[in-house]
């Protein structure tokens, strides 16, 4: 009787152990988004894709997707993205790129254009807490905006905002746009990253306005991003605030001369 009872007891313990292991495995799977939310490193790509029109004048989103896939980013900020416009065949470009890359796509429209919309976009494989499309001062009367995604927190549970930015127009228009961006994040209580096409040169008045509030990253190697086939100017940037929350592990221009008239930027940041 005692031997038999011992056998039953061992079997029950084994079943309980197996059950506990299965429960822990299920909990681990359920917690994967939270693990992603608390990751300490972000791979970010910024790319003005010129609505997918390459230097050969062909619109080819698969080619753009191939460029992006190779960079293995957590978050991608895109500029000059069409959604259901005539010139690009009524395709929702960010949705299509999201399908090709297996990422969530978010389009932030500046304005209506050719029966659809034109603007910025963000692609990400991380959990998104919130999306904000903020209007900034126009360029030659044409509306502009920035597109912000608020991601799950880094260390200490803080959220992290990644913002797709496209400044445009005359210097005074871009200065007003930069001032507007500064004002949006003047009292942000969490880390913020701006990434995109600023149509401004390092050291000019527009960039100095931004450098007063942001850490503007220095690129490894040749910093020039435009035009993609023979770049001679640096007009695409990544910047962040606050200073003490980030460490730059990598920041470089990707050597891609065909898929768009800009070259993409790859940035790897550790968040403290």
What would the two tokens of residue 202 be?
């390092």
What's the average model confidence in pLDDT over 154-183? 93
Strands 246-253, 142-151: pairing is unpaired
Answer whether residue 272 shows pLDDT above 90. no
For the chain, give the percent of residues with pLDDT over 70: 85
CA distance 173 to 204: 14
Q: Rounded to the nearest 10 degrees, how much is the dihedral formed by the CA atoms of 91, 258, 147, 182?
A: -160
Task: List alpha helices for 31-60, DSSP H.
Answer: 32-37
Peptide bond connecting 242 to the previous residue in cis, omega within 30 degrees of 0 = yes
Mean pLDDT of the chain: 88
Q: Which residue is associated with the tokens 């919130």? A: 130
Q: Binning pLDDT at 50, 70 and 90, where does residue 35 land? A: very low
Domain boundaries, the chain: 1-30, 40-271
Q: Contact, 227 vs 261, CB < 8 A?
A: yes
Answer whether residue 179 shows pLDDT above 50. yes
Q: Contact, 169 vs 194, CB < 8 A?
A: no
What residues contact 177, with CB distance under 8 A and at least 6 apart?
136, 137, 139, 144, 167, 168, 169
Answer whether residue 24 shows pLDDT above 50. no
Answer whether residue 36 shows pLDDT above 90. no
**Rg from Cα positions in the chain:** 23
DSSP labels for 176-191?
HHHHHHHHHTTT-SS-
Residue 194, burial from CB neighbour count under 10 angstroms (0-12, 13-18, 19+): buried
What would the two tokens of residue 84 be?
């259901």
Residue 15, burial from CB neighbour count under 10 angstroms (0-12, 13-18, 19+): exposed
Which CATH code fits 40-271? 3.60.10.10
What would the two tokens of residue 142 be?
């044409």
Q: Contact, 144 vs 166, CB < 8 A?
A: yes
- Residues 56-112 have pLDDT tens digits of 999 999 999 999 999 999 999 999 999 999 999 999 999 999 999 999 999 999 999
Strands 75-83, 41-48: pairing is parallel
* Residue of 268 and 155 predicted with greater confidence: 268
For the chain, the first-to-last Cα distance in angstroms comes to 61
Task: With CA atoms as reference, report the closest residue to 97 among 52, 57, 129, 56.
Answer: 52
Residue 28's pLDDT is what?
36
CA distance 15 to 9: 10
Task: With CA atoms as reference, report the closest residue to 105 among 76, 130, 70.
Answer: 76
């Amino acid at each position: 009787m005692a031997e038999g009872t011992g056998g039953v007891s061992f079997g029950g313990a084994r079943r309980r152990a197996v059950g506990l292991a299965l429960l822990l495995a299920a909990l681990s799977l359920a917690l994967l988004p939270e693990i992603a939310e608390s990751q300490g490193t972000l791979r970010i790509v910024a790319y003005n894709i010129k609505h997918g029109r390459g230097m050969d004048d062909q619109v080819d989103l698969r080619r753009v997707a191939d460029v992006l896939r190779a960079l293995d980013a957590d978050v991608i900020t895109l500029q000059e993205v069409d959604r259901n416009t005539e010139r690009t065949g009524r395709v929702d470009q960010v949705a299509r790129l999201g399908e090709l890359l297996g990422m969530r796509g978010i389009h932030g429209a500046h304005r209506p254009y050719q029966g659809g919309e034109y603007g910025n976009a963000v692609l990400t494989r991380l959990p998104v807490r919130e999306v904000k499309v903020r209007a900034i001062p126009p360029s030659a009367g044409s509306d502009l905006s920035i597109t912000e995604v608020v991601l799950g927190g880094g260390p200490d549970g803080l959220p992290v905002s990644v913002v797709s930015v496209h400044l445009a127009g005359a210097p005074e228009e871009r200065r007003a746009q930069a001032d507007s961006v500064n004002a949006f994040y003047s009292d942000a209580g969490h880390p913020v990253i701006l990434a995109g096409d600023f149509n401004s040169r390092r050291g000019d008045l527009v960039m100095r306005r931004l450098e007063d509030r942001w850490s503007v990253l220095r690129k490894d190697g040749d910093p020039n991003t435009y035009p993609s086939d023979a770049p001679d100017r640096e007009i695409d940037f990544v910047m962040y605030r606050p200073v003490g929350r980030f460490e730059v592990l990598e920041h470089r221009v990707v050597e891609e001369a065909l898929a768009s008239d800009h070259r993409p930027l790859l940035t790897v940041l550790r968040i403290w």
